[in-house]
Homo-oligomer: A and B are copies of this chain.
Amino acid sequence: MNQLIELKRVTTKKDKPDLSSLGFGKHFTDHMFVMEYDKEKGWHDPRITPYEPLVLDPAAAVFHYGQAIFEGLKAYRTSDNRVLLFRPSKNIHRLNVSSERMSMPPLDEELVLEAVQQLIDLERDWIPTKEGTSLYIRPFVIATESCLGVKPALQYKFMIILSPVGAYYANQLQPVRIFVEEDYVRAVRGGVGAVKTGGNYAASLQAQLKAEKLGYDQVLWLDGVEKKYVEEVGSMNIFFKIKGEVFTPALNGSILGGITRDSVIEMLRSWNVPVHERRITIQEVYEAYQRGEIEEVFGTGTAAVISPVGELSWNDERMIINNFETGELSMKIYQEMTDIQLGRIPDPYQWTVEV
């Protein structure tokens, strides 16, 4: 840490929101972290300030040419009142993977980790206690230079905001119905599917609306080239358990390398469950289904941790997975992962970082 993070506290704290109706990303804490970048000074003026509106020129590049990247991770409160982060360095490193692809300046990863920790420490009383709730951490970078030329901006703002969020599942894991999308495409090799940039999410909304209209919860994305290979489910990675072995699409440049995905793979391998990262066609999924070999399907992501898939609809074929029930392995991963995140069991993987 070579830069001091300045701190300007609020004079009056906000009332905390009702824990029973937190939702996701609607409420924000009293403070935020900010720093700016320009060509001359690099990243500078790191500070924690009261949460307040941004003032930007209407010509700021983020409004016009989409240079924007973000991350999402959570702080958890343990039953003995400690505060744990889950693999924060992984998220912070991915920010830099994203910034490189989007022609944005790299961040000092140590400084960002320090910023996350100081901000969380300051906002400790915002971390909700109820089962399944947490404090969502949203680091993001936007291009702020006021210029309409199409080029990498010369000025940026990096911020971290915090939002107390409700439990993803009201009671227990809830299998979802998935529509295999064959018209809209999320990403293609040579594009930006492997990085967390706003444009990927905006582009996905039409397909999500279409799936919802058809009565499904989310979309399963196929590759943009052949529309044959399974890529992601909604904004999660996807796993298939077939005859006791687990399969997930290999990171191919158009799939986001999820941190939960990475953790699930490591966990399964430590349990001696075979995991295969490779290309998976939707056709072979269907054929395995017909042979009765598909045991479980689940998505992985920061929000849900594990999201069991109860149904996959592909063309006119409806595949009902595991009788629309949460599978044993899905449940076991979810339990172990959340137990580690909440400090209920020892963390053999050294994933958690105490604040």
Contact = CB atoms under 8 A, between A and B. Distances in A.
Interface of A: 23-26, 28, 32, 51, 53-60, 62-68, 70, 101-103, 136, 138, 140, 142, 146-152, 159, 161, 163, 183-185, 187-192, 197-206, 208-209, 224-225, 227, 235
A140 B63 contact: yes
* Integer count of this chain's copies in the complex: 2
Given A55-B53, A55-B55, A64-B138, A203 B198 contact: no
A30 to B, nearest CB: 13
A159 B25 contact: no
B199 A198 contact: yes
Nearest to A65: B201
A57 B54 contact: yes
A68 B59 contact: no
Chain B CB within 10 A, most for which of A60, A203, A225: A203
B67 A58 contact: no
Nearest to A226: B225
A53 B64 CA distance: 15
A161 B24 CA distance: 34
A62 B59 contact: no
Contact of A192 (B64, B151, B203): B203
A161 B146 CA distance: 12
A58 B67 CA distance: 15
A59 B161 contact: yes
